[in-house]
Amino acid sequence: MPTISSHLEDPVKVNHALTSQSSKERIEWAVEHFGDKLVLTTSFGIQSAVMLHLATQVKADIPVIFIDTGYLFPQTYVFAEALTQRLNLNLRVYQPLMTPARQEALFGKRWEGDKEALTQYGIMNKVEPMNRALQEVGATAWLTGLRREQGSTRSDLEIVEKQNKTYKIYPIIDWNNRDIYQYLTQNELPYHPLWEEGYVSIGDWHSSSKLMPGMTEEETRFGGVKRECGLHELSGQADWQI
């Protein structure tokens, strides 16, 4: 693997160098540069087994952060348990500070509201728990399985970006659906159980729908109002200043 600067002052050079690397080599680079400050996040979604397997092949004990909103499909919890046992994941589960029942009593079903209501829902149920997780684990960088092919909000992402004070690395950013299928098949890994029922993207049960004729993948989330829950919303160019 070619030497890539250990410093991140020049994002163009870092991303250019990583472009020609394999996904495993990108993870190895992240482990080398961030060490114990590196985490992996997972939603235990449709294709999550790919990143979980890839990352743990490089660093078996990498902390795996899982945000449990309390609104996940029952199948997701079963899937999460099966993969945790099979891959011996160092799983760290984080939940919102307020229970679903309390939220609904005070704010109603925010997922049925407008874009602002969805934003507030995402902050309370996903962004705040994730920020708390990163702080408690002491992470400065995290691996995640976003891919450019998944939607317009991800089409221009680089391999390494920075969101606030945290570096984000997308090792499979340039993979397509065929790459995913081949990796899962070759390593005898499963899709999420709801894949067989027509789901291509899985999150909370109330904001995930099956892919119907004429729909894009991003339209299967939040009724097409928005693609991101807040965890991966970058405004403008990535900020590389710590």
C-alpha Rg value of the chain to the nearest Å: 17
Per the CB < 8 A criterion, the answer to whether 55 and 40 are in contact is yes
Per the CB < 8 A criterion, the answer to whether 44 and 68 are in contact is no
At residue 135, the 3 state secondary structure works out as helix
Which are the contacts of 125, defined by CB distance < 8 A and separation ≥ 6?
A: 67, 69, 70, 71, 96, 103, 204, 229
Per the CB < 8 A criterion, the answer to whether 99 and 107 are in contact is no
Pairing of strands 160-163, 166-169: antiparallel
Q: State the catalytic residues.
A: 229
The H-or-E segment that residue 85 falls in is helix 74-87
